[in-house]
Amino acid sequence: MQLENTIQEFKAYLERIIMYSQAMSILSFDSETIAPEGGLENRAKRAGFFELEIFNMAVSSTMKGFLEALEPHQNELDVHTKAMYRLAKKDYDEATKLPPELVKAYAELTEESASVWRKARTENNYKAFSPYLKRIIDMKKQVLTLRASEIPEGGQPYDIFLDDFEEGMTIKKYDDFFEKLKATVIPLIKKVAASKKKIDTSFANTKVDIATQRKISELLANHVGYDLNRGYIGEAMHPFCNGSHKTDIRITTHYYENDFMSSLYSVMHEIGHAIYEQNVGDDIADTTLGDGASSGIHESQSRLYENVIGRNLAFWEYIIDELKSLLPKEFASVTPQMFYEAANESKPSLIRVEADELTYSLHVIIRYEIEKMIFSGEVDVDDLPAIWNQKYQEYLGITPPDDADGVMQDVHWSEGLFGYFPTYALGSAYAAQMLHYMNKEFNIDELILKGEFSKITAWLTDKIHKHGSIYTPNQLIEQAFGEQLNGEYYAKYLEDKFSKLYQL
Ligand code: ZN
């Protein structure tokens, strides 16, 4: 009876945290979309207040009491309560292991360095940024020392950061995954570059006014199954998905008049994230389990909708008539094959966020390999630009002309985010693995051609969406497919797709 009471109180306590987080989430959507410039100071103050409230609740003596009371009973807990306990304990341990002075100093440093990075990038001045990067890395190394007990057996300190963003992932697993991927992708890129096949992308720059592009976004949502009764498509500088509760999952996009495909694929990407969160089980929607399992699994859903579905010939065959009814003059002579080819043109480029599906993973691999070197002490911050450029030359056959479009292009390191990049590649690999198993049960191209997206979503909901964050990524994948992450499907998917497209 006493345990029952503790569980009820624990859940009620977590629900209060969830309410604050949901409010925070809406505030953050507001500030990134329509909030007036003049309110910046008050918004920052308000966000700080809620953030501190949530943090204090997660590390309070009340929370400590719950965790201690539940610890000896872990095996008696039902699946949901056990998962809530696991997540709360992880947060608690992480937040209480570090001295408050270090947390504060780190928050101040990353706040400052993010703005230093912005300026340094604009001015192409790595020397202005590198002292900050050095301090961030030093502090990150201190954190790793304090968390040394979390290093997996036979592992290294950097493993801790990898696990932070994708529970269960290690250097060993990523090395294995990336080495195999490189063995397929690097030669494939060379073959594509040498191919005689030329892709016409000129019509992709046809001017499409923003009002029409908004209609295209809605059309995509309605066809693919993003429920706008529980969703909203806003506009922001950088597209994102903002989920507070399964009944209110919003996305944003950015429209460019002369590049309608940019927003089209951003929308498909964010729709993938949104459909995931709209379909978590009703039984966990109000709990701490009501969002995605991990960054990698979340990214698998966005990549699946963006690439597997959206960059598929069947998709263009299905959607073309409606697109032409919106733009009869502009696209009168454009065929589905032309759209398909333009959406998949592949060539080595310098900027990760603009990379095509084939070359994308190499951008991630380069960052991963450099991060590994940083935390094993093999490299000095001053040498990073040279190492970066050398890896771009080796893997992609191009050298950045400057550091702004080289080592300084991403915001992540300036915010202290190490161990995050590899999850971007995981997303694509999980998506290809899902595609493999989906195709065993039905032919996905046929469903897309007929517009039967609801069957695809239902399958994904059953395997992935409805479980929210009950399971770790490994458990979730293993439970759904009877095996853990297997990068071979991704390598084969790329090989098949690009060999066909470039007639190799
Ligand atoms: Zn994403």
Residue position matching structure tokens 């990524």: 473
Handedness of CA 149, 154, 160, 165 (dihedral sign): negative
CB 222 within 8 A of CB 238: no
Terminal Cα-to-Cα distance of the chain (whole angstroms): 68
Please name the residues in contact with 82: beta carbons below 8 A apart, sequence gap of 6 or more.
74
CA of 95 to the centre of ligand 1 (A): 26
Question: How would you list the strands of the sheet with 241-245, edge to edge?
Answer: 231-235, 248-253, 241-245
Domain residue spans of the chain: 2-150, 172-208+279-296+322-501
**Distance from C-alpha of 453 to C-alpha of 425, rounded to nearest angstrom:** 25
- Locate all alpha helices (DSSP H) within 195-335, ordered by sequence: 210-224, 260-278, 295-303, 313-326
Amino acid at 96: T
Query: CA nearest 484: which of 421, 419, 420, 429?
Result: 429
**Distance from C-alpha of 188 to C-alpha of 494, rounded to nearest angstrom:** 9
CA of 300 to the centre of ligand 1 (A): 8
**pTM surpassing 0.75?**
yes
CA of 189 to the centre of ligand 1 (A): 24
CB 473 within 8 A of CB 423: no
**Distance from C-alpha of 76 to C-alpha of 78, rounded to nearest angstrom:** 7
Instruction: Please state which architecture CATH assigns to domain 172-208+279-296+322-501.
Output: Orthogonal Bundle (1.10)
CA of 235 to the centre of ligand 1 (A): 16
pLDDT of the chain, 504 residues: tens digit per residue: 699 999 999 999 999 999 999 999 999 899 889 999 898 888 888 888 888 899 999 999 999 999 999 999 999 999 999 999 999 999 999 888 888 889 889 988 988 888 899 999 999 999 999 999 999 999 999 999 999 999 999 999 999 999 999 999 999 999 999 999 999 999 999 999 999 999 999 999 999 999 999 999 999 999 999 999 999 999 998 899 999 999 999 999 999 999 999 999 999 999 999 999 999 999 999 999 999 999 999 999 999 999 999 999 999 999 999 999 999 999 999 999 999 999 999 999 999 988 999 999 999 999 999 999 999 999 999 999 999 999 999 999 999 999 999 999 999 999 999 999 999 999 999 999 999 999 999 999 999 999 999 999 999 999 999 999 999 999 999 999 999 999 999 999 999 999 999 999
Catalytic-labelled residue, pool 166, 167, 270, 371: 270
CA of 306 to the centre of ligand 1 (A): 10
Paired sense of beta strands 248-253 and 241-245, if any: antiparallel
Specify whether 369 is catalytic. no
**Distance from C-alpha of 472 to C-alpha of 433, rounded to nearest angstrom:** 17
Please name the residues in contact with 115: beta carbons below 8 A apart, sequence gap of 6 or more.
none
Please name the residues in contact with 380: beta carbons below 8 A apart, sequence gap of 6 or more.
none
